[in-house]
Homo-oligomer: A and B are copies of this chain.
Amino acid sequence: MAGVSQTTVSLVLNGRAEGEVRISPETRERVLQVIRETGYVADPAARRLAERRNRIYGVFTYEAVFPAESADFYHPFLVGIEECAEEAGCDLLLFTSAKVERGERRRIFSAESRIRLADGCVLLGRTIDREDLSRLLSEGIPFVSVGRRDDAGGPVPFVGADYPPAVHALVERAAALGHRRMAYVGAGAGAESYADRLRGFTEAVAATGVEGLHLATADRLFGSGASVVFAEELADGAAIAEAARSRGLDVPRDLSIVALGAPTRPVSTDIDFARFRIPRREMGRRAVELLTQVLERGGTPQELLACELVEGSTLAPVREGR
């Protein structure tokens, strides 16, 4: 239509017409005019094939992205991811195709995986398959994990929440309120985030010189003599509060409770726990920024974002006589 070659159109379209290769302003204008009239847009698939770049970022979650169960937890991450993708002019590819079989988790690599259609990928999930991770690394697929991850055959790029200092601060606050015997309730393992919380607790009690107990479950909590309990998850905190109430204990007069996580399961509690805020939205944003950075300059960025403390009303001075 403009009487020029495909090459010329490509050059004009990509603004390369000013550098090495020269196209006269008249020709350029003519091509642009036709493009405007027809609304021509280069085929993204062909572009990807030729250019190895798409401006499409993949988003992989081990659970369904939208559904309600964990929606409250994942949603803020996605808000941040979308915001930042929008600013970067990128589209998001949600890998929904990996069927979640009953009891099975999604897998990143399936026979039909379209992960390589995206320039790179943001990973979301409490835990991430080590096999998947190491394969991502070995195949050289650019990605950033939301949440700290242990090495998996190499360092993993991530943006995580910095749990240890946050837990540390809460332990110190409890100590300042007179607590001398503290319990951590939760696995303290399984996911990196759990391990980090327990580590923060363990280091903090050591540094503060108070006594720290680690209980896998709340069963033996009430015989332990602990005056404050650090619950690994908000749901755990709610359960402990309920158990305390049923024993006739008042929170926080008889027992202080600190919650160390965000609601990953839908918890119907309006208790205003002493806790910290996981900067989920910021983590989402930052993950996309880091992915962009990886795509442009490579590297293996690892970042931890600070968690803001929330005073709450479940951490009080230790009761005399305990």
Contact = CB atoms under 8 A, between A and B. Distances in A.
Interface of A: 39, 41, 43-46, 48-49, 54-56, 64-68, 71, 75, 78-79, 81-83, 85-87, 89-100, 109, 111-117, 135
Contacts of A71: 75
A85 B94 CA distance: 10
A130 to B, nearest CB: 15
Most buried by B among A43, A86, A89: A86
B79 A116 contact: no
**Nearest 8 A-B pairs (CB), nearest first?**
A45-B48, A44-B117, A44-B114, A92-B94, A66-B79, A66-B78, A85-B96, A91-B97
B82 A75 contact: no
A85 B97 contact: yes
Contact of A86 (B56, B79, B92, B96): B96
A93 B93 contact: yes
8 contacts: A46-B49, A54-B114, A67-B79, A67-B83, A86-B97, A89-B99, A91-B93, A91-B94
Copies in the complex: 2
B91 A96 contact: yes
Nearest to A80: B66
A147 to B, nearest CB: 18
A99 to B, nearest CB: 6
Contacts of A82: 64-67, 94, 96
A90 B99 CA distance: 9
A99 B112 contact: no
Given A44-B117, A66-B75, A97 B90 contact: yes
Contacts of A99: 86-87, 89
A111 to B, nearest CB: 7
B45 A117 contact: yes
Given A41-B113, A112-B55, A96 B92 contact: yes
A43 B112 CA distance: 9
B87 A56 contact: no
A121 to B, nearest CB: 12
Given A85-B97, A114-B56, A39 B91 contact: no
Given A82-B67, A89-B99, A49 B43 contact: yes
Contacts of A68: 79
A110 to B, nearest CB: 8
Nearest to A138: B39
A187 B77 CA distance: 36
A56 B118 CA distance: 12
